Amino acid sequence: MVNIVLLYVILTNVTVITKTNINDYTINTPQGRKYQYNDITNITTGVFGEKQFFGHSKGDFYYIVEFKDGKKIDWANDVGAVKNDIDERFILNQLDKKLVNMGIPKKSSMANFKYTTKSLDKIYTDKIKSILERKSP
């Protein structure tokens, strides 16, 4: 029974990002909550430095967007498969350019970037680095 509940929670927490909006489906809102890109109030991005008990490992990249209603979504880890099986870091790089050019405030940290180089190929770490170094105009 516990496995069924966990599977339901995992499968019902999905974020769909389109060219025009963001749809967030959760256990509390199975019909989804639609956001526009201009509903994003800030971005926080970086790399985890310590392993968390029930969470991310040391070196995991995060890209958290916060919306006007206070909802936060980690696009680096909570967004599922992407169109044409393109790695999400490449999609995030494109999205990050768009959001930064919109003037959305972004806080990023390179503090733990070195940990990504231990588990990822250079092609991925280069994309993460470009996201972390990109600043709002």
> What pLDDT shows up at residue 49?
84
Cα(120)–Cα(64) distance, rounded to whole angstroms? Answer: 20
- Domain membership of residue 103 as a residue range: 38-133
Structural domain contains residue 28: no
* H or E stretch covering 17: strand 14-17
pTM of the model: 0.82
The total of structural domains in the chain comes to 1
> What pLDDT shows up at residue 121?
87
Structural domain contains residue 106: yes
Asked if the model's pLDDT at residue 82 lies above 60, the reply is no
Per-residue confidence at 44, pLDDT binned at 50, 70, 90? Answer: very high
Mean pLDDT within 59-78: 89
> What pLDDT shows up at residue 69?
95
Residue pointed to by tokens 């489906």: 25
Structural domain contains residue 30: no
DSSP SS3 for 108: strand
For the segment 94-115, what is each residue's pLDDT rounded down to a tens digit? 889 999 999 999 999 999 999 9
